[in-house]
Amino acid sequence: MVIVLGIGLYMMIGSPNLVKKVIGLNMFQSAVFLFFIATAYVTDGHVPVVSGHGGADIRYASPLPQVIVLTAIVVGVAVTAVALALIIRIYNEYGTLDEASVQEVQRHDR
Partner 1 sequence: MTAEWTLPLLIVVPLLGAAVALAAGRITDNGGYWVAAAVLTAEAVIAGRLIAAVYSGERIVYQVGGAALSRPEGLAIGIELLADTVSVFLLPLIVGVAGLLLPCAVRAEHRTTAFYSVYLLLTGGLMGVVLTHDIFNLFVFLEITGLATYALVASGRSKVSAVAALKYLMIGTVGASCYLIGVGYLYMVTGTLNMTDLAQVLAGDGFIQHALYTDPLVVTGFAFMATGLMVKAAIFPLHTWQPDAYETAPDDVSAYIAALVSTAGAYALARLMFTVFTPEFFAATPVAAEIVIGLAAISIVAGSLLAAMQHRVKRMLAYSSVAQFGMIVAAFGIAAHPAGGSTALTGGIIHLTGHGVLKAGLFLAASVIAARHGARTIQEYAGMGERFPIGAAGVALLGLALAGMPPSIGFVGKWYIAVGAVSSGLWPVAAVIVLSTVLTLLYIARLLEQVYVTSADIDTADSSGYPVQLAAVLGLAVLAVVLGFAGNVLYDLLAPFVSEVYAP
Q: Which residues bind partner 1 (CB under 8 A)?
A: 9, 12, 18, 21-22, 25, 28-29, 32, 35-36, 39, 64-65, 68, 71-72, 75, 78-79, 82-83, 86-87, 89-90, 93-94, 102, 105-106, 109
Residue type, 21: K
What is the DSSP track for 48-105?
S---TT--S---B--HHHHHHHHHHHHHHHHHHHHHHHHHHHHHHHHS--BHHHHHHH
The 8-class DSSP code of residue 44 comes to T
Pick between residue 40 and residue 58 the one whose CB is nearest to partner 1. Answer: 40
**Closest approach of Cβ 65 to partner 1, in Å?**
7
Pick between residue 61 and residue 68 the one whose CB is nearest to partner 1. Answer: 68
